[in-house]
Amino acid sequence: MDVGTLGTVKAIDPRDLIETRAQVVLGNTYHLMLRPGAQIVAEAGGLHAFMNWHGPILTDSGGFQVFSLAKMRTITEDGCRFNSHIDGHEVFLGPKESMAIQRELASDIAMVFDECLPYPCERTRAEKSVEQTLRWARVSKDQPHAPGQLVFGIVQGGVYDDLRRHCAEELVKMDFDGYAIGGVSVGEPEEFMYQAVDASIPWLPEDKPRYVMGLGVMHQMAECVARGVDMFDCVIPTRLARHGTALTRKGNYAIKAARWAHDLSPVDETCDCYCCRNFTRSYIRHLFASGEILGLRLLTIHNVRVLNKFMEDMRVAIENGTFFDFKEQIRQDTMPQ
């Protein structure tokens, strides 16, 4: 799922998303609440109409941003009071407020308001946080939703397997439409990320979507699919593109490097995106060296397509019964040596 935090996937437009075969775009409750405001989006007819993207939209609850961006915050039973990272004004966001905003945004999938734990985190804090997340999940579930809007619960628990299991089992009792595994990709070593997934997945129903939040590295996604995960999101393709890094199945590389100055081959000879069909490494490097915005746009198109094509090929491998061979090849090709 491609991340469009502020109602836009950075540097590209909805036509590009369609051509890259994007399936779902993410918006963020926290950021859209602060700017432009949920009421303005609602007046436009909801987030689909506001950003002119008519495919599915998932909105994050804003919980992660409250705990990662707000330097000054006070947590209460009802939510969190904090100062806006934009202008410092005081804001309150909790499960009732988050779900009300997501109802106005009219996303297809709304995420419950939760507390995302940092890494590392002491067990006593993790225990309290999980219970708070479960109370907020119940409140989120009970709020009115936009017509047809699905609601996903979020499993937390840090690196503590028993807390992950407890959180997952309690969320399943609430009968959400899907389940996310949160609190990963927050700076923990890779093995702890897999541990968090392994501690959560067995307790989540197989007939509902299972989503690892914030994950966009190819070999890690393949490993998680092997564990039973269905959905992912990450800013990696757009963020790396803005810094001049091209994604490929054989590893990433810096397009700004001098070695590409005379290279008239595409960014990736195996890629079918608009950028690779029409432009060369030499030209994309020139755009970056010249500070031209087009370079960011073209490389973003490429990176977004690479991950969407990766997911397409993974689905085909599953259907063909060759998934584990596919996973091993990805591991060999993309993992740092």
* Beta-sheet pairing, 150-155 with 109-111: parallel
- On average, the pLDDT of the chain sits at 96
Catalytic residue among 2, 16, 60, 268: 60
| pTM value > 0.75 | yes
Structure tokens at 269: 């000879």
Active-site hit among 2, 16, 114, 233? 233
What is the Cα Rg of the chain in Å?
20
> What's the CATH number for 2-234?
3.20.20.105
pLDDT in tens, 175-204: 999 999 999 988 899 999 999 999 999 999
Report d(CA 145, CA 100) in Å as an integer.
8
Q: Can you tell me the mean pLDDT for 160-182?
A: 98
Percent of the chain at pLDDT exceeding 90: 91
Confirm if 39 and 72 have CB atoms less than 8 A apart: no
Mean pLDDT in residue range 53-81? 88
| DSSP of 142-181 | HS---TT-EEEEEE--TT-HHHHHHHHHHHHHH--SEEEE
Q: Tell me if residue 233 is catalytic.
A: yes
pLDDT score at 72: 74
Show me where the domains of the chain are located. Answer: 2-234, 239-334
Tell me the H-state helices in 1-155.
Answer: 14-19, 29-34, 38-43, 47-51, 63-69, 95-105, 123-142
Is pLDDT at 149 greater than 90 in this prediction? Answer: yes
Contacts of 335 (CB under 8 A, 6+ apart): 219
